[in-house]
A and B are shown apart, each in its own frame.
Chain A
C-alpha cells in the first residue's frame, strides 16, 4: 500500500487530436511544482487521471497543496494505492479510513471499475466497503444522497486507488496552452486577479509595472514584486518589467489639461506595454479594469485607452463588482499584499475632478503638446526586468 496523489483533468479532456499538446504542458507544470517539494516523485498518466507516486522521503502534504494550484486540473485527490483484490482493499480501508472520513458524520462509497474483469461489480464493491467502514468507525452513517465524504474505490489496470473524494482543483487550462500575454500589474487589488483569470485560461504571463520614482517608493515596487510572486505560484515563471513614467508625468504637469492626466498616462502605459509585448512575443495585454469602477474605467475612458493599442487588451474583471474581485483576491492570496499602504504611480498625479467623458479628438489634441514617441522611448530605456518564480 502506497500513498498517492491523483489529478483528474478538467475541460482539456474534451480536446481532440491536439490533446497531447495540453497534456505535455500540464505535465511540465506539475514537474516544475514538484521540484519545490521534498522527495522524488514519479508521474503516471492513464484514463484522464495523473497518478503521482513518491519515494519514502516524499512530502505528500506539500505536494497536495501545490497540485491545487495547477491549472487544467478539475479535482485533486490524496489517497492510497493497493493491490487489486478485496482483501487488500479492505485492509487499506481499515488503515486509512479515518483519513478519508476526516471527522465526517455521513459517507457513501463510490466504486469505479475501469478493469471490467474484476470479479465484483461496482455495487458489490460499495456494499462490502461500506460494511467495513460502518463496522470499524464509530459515529458515521450512510447517506447516499448528500454525504459529507464519498469514499472512492477505483479499480485500475494494475492496482486499486482509494481516496476520500478529493478537493476542487484550480480548473481552467494548462498555462501556456493559450499563448502569451503581458499583464499591466499595479499594487492594487484588481490587476493580480485579472492576471490569475487570464492564466487560468491557459495564458502564460509576463507583467509590466509602471512606477514614478521618487514619487513612488522602493517599498511600492517590493509590494508589486510580492504580488507577482504570489501570482507566479499559479501561472509559473513571470518576468516583471519595471518602467519609470516619472518624466511623462512631470512633462504633462506643465503642458496638459489636468482633468485628462490619468487618461493621457494610461494611453502612454498601453503604448509602452504594447512595445514590450511585441518585443517579448506576447500577443495581448491584460488589465484589471472593471466598467465604471473609477473615472478612467467608464466606457468612454476605456475606449480612448483602447484606441492606441494595436493588439487585443483583455479585461477579465470587466463585469465583476469590487466585492467579487475582493473575494477572488482573497482566495488566491493577493488581497493582503494589495492592502499594504504604498503610493501607486497612478495616484500621485491624480486630478481631483477627472474627465469621465473624454473623446478621442480631445486626447489627440492634448498629445500634440507632447513628444509622445520620445517620451515612450525614454520610458522604455528606464526598463528593468526581474525574474519571478
Chain B
C-alpha cells in the first residue's frame, strides 16, 4: 500500500539533511557543557544549529533559546511574561483560537488572578477595532498565533504590532509561530513585529522533542526548569546535540529553498480545485481571509470526519479530523471560534501539505474523498 502523508500540520517527515545531521551528531556524544575536546565538539554542533535556526527566523543567535518543545516555549513565554509584567498590568489579550499550549497557560494565569481578553477569530481574522478596544487600558501581554493549526488562517501580526504601539498599552507581544515558521514569504515579519516567538522543529522536517523561543533583547523571562543553567540559564537540562543539529540542518534547507512555499501553495490550490470539481455541493471549503500555504480545511457534508479519516487511513492516506466526533470528546474549540456549528465540526477534515507531496497524491486523495462522501452518516438514518 502506497503511503500518502497529508498531515504535515500535525508533524512532518524528517528531511534527508535532518537525518544525516542526526546521525553525524550522534557520534559527538560529549556533554556540551564539558570543557574537554568531546564537550567542545558537541558545543560547536549546537552553536552551528543555533546559527542556522536564528538565520531562518531572522534573529540574533544570542536571543534564541532552545526548549524541549513548542509547548514548553509557549508556556515559558506566556506565563513568564505575564508574571514579569504583573506590576504593570494583570490584563492579557489573546484570541479564542489559540493552541492548547497557549490556552491552558492562559487559564492557569486566570486562576492566579490575571484577566484574559480573548479576541474573536470568527472567519479566520482578528477585528482591529476589537483589538483596539482591548488595548485602551494597560496590558501586560498580547499573545496571538501566526497561523491557526486547524483552519490555516493567517493572522495579521503587523496590524497587532501597530495597534500595540499606537495604544501605548505597554504590552509585550508573543507570537506562537509553530505553524507559521518558514511557511510565509515575509520570514522576517515575526522578529520584526514580535517580542517573543515560539517555533518547533518537527513542523519543519526535523524531529520531535525540540523547540525554540526567540526573546527580544532586554526581556528576561524567568526559567521554569532549573538545574545546570544550560541555554544561558533559561532552560536547564543537557542539550540533545543530535536533535538540535537536525533542527539546524532542516532550517538551513528551508532557508535555501524559499520556493517551497510557492510549490505548496500551488499544490493546495490544485487539490482545492479538484475537490470542488469532483464533489461539488457535497463539500465546503473554508477559505480564511489570509491563509497559510499548507493547510486546507474542508467539510464533507453528512459524513462524520472520523469515518472519512478511517476510510482514507485504510487506503494509506493520512489526514486529520477537524475534531474527534466521538461522543466522548468535546468539539473543537478552534472551529467553534471560527464560526462552525457542531454538526459542521463533526464533518470537518484538515488536509495539510509539505513540499514532499505531489499532484498524483492529491488526485488519489480526491478519488477517495469522493468515495467517503457516499458513506452513510448517523444523521441521515
Q: Which residue numbers of A lie inside 8 Å of B, CB to CB?
A: 213-218, 250, 253, 258, 261, 339-343, 347-351
Contact = CB atoms under 8 A, between A and B. Distances in A.
A217 B309 CA distance: 8
B313 A342 contact: no
Contacts of B381: 253, 258, 261, 349, 351
B314 A214 contact: yes
B328 A339 contact: yes
A250 B376 contact: yes
Contacts of A341: 324, 326, 328-329
Q: Which bucket holds chain B's interface residue count?
A: 20 to 34
Interface of B: 304, 306-311, 313-314, 324-329, 372, 375-376, 378, 381
B376 A343 contact: no
Contact of B311 (A214, A253, A339, A342): A214
B22 to A, nearest CB: 29
Contact of A213 (B304, B310, B328): B310
Contacts of A218: 310, 313-314
Contacts of A261: 381
A349 B372 CA distance: 16
B319 to A, nearest CB: 13
Contacts of B309: 217
A349 B313 CA distance: 21
| A-B interface, 9 closest residue pairs, ranked by CB to CB distance from nearest | A341-B328, A214-B311, A214-B310, A341-B329, A341-B326, A217-B310, A215-B307, A343-B326, A253-B376
A215 B375 CA distance: 9
B196 to A, nearest CB: 34
Contact of A343 (B306, B308, B311, B313): B306
Contacts of B325: 343
Nearest to B314: A214
Given A261-B381, A340-B328, A341-B326, 10 more contacts: A214-B311, A214-B372, A217-B309, A250-B376, A341-B324, A341-B329, A343-B325, A348-B307, A349-B376, A349-B378
A299 B375 CA distance: 34
Given A253-B381, A339-B328, A341-B326, A217 B375 contact: no
A214 B307 contact: yes
Contact of A216 (B310, B327, B372, B376): B310
Contacts of B327: 347
A218 B307 CA distance: 11
A340 B328 CA distance: 8
A203 to B, nearest CB: 30
Nearest to B308: A214
24 contacts: A213-B310, A213-B314, A214-B307, A214-B308, A214-B310, A215-B304, A215-B307, A215-B310, A215-B375, A217-B306, A218-B310, A218-B314, A253-B376, A339-B328, A340-B328, A341-B324, A341-B329, A343-B325, A343-B326, A347-B327, A348-B378, A349-B376, A349-B381, A350-B378
A84 B381 CA distance: 76
B251 to A, nearest CB: 33
A351 B379 CA distance: 9
Nearest to A250: B376
Contacts of B376: 250, 253, 349
A214 B371 CA distance: 11
Contacts of B306: 217, 343
Contacts of B328: 339-341
Contact of B326 (A213, A342, A350): A342
Contacts of A348: 307, 378
A261 B309 CA distance: 24
Contacts of A339: 328
Nearest to B327: A347
Contacts of B307: 214-215, 348
A77 to B, nearest CB: 41
A181 to B, nearest CB: 29
Most A-side CB within 10 Å, residue of B308, B310, B327, B376: B310
Nearest to A217: B310
Contacts of A217: 306, 309-310, 313
Nearest to B309: A217
Contacts of B326: 341-343
A218 B310 CA distance: 7
Nearest to A342: B326
A250 B374 CA distance: 12
A351 B376 CA distance: 13
Contacts of A351: 381
Most A-side CB within 10 Å, residue of B307, B309, B311, B313: B307
Contacts of B308: 214
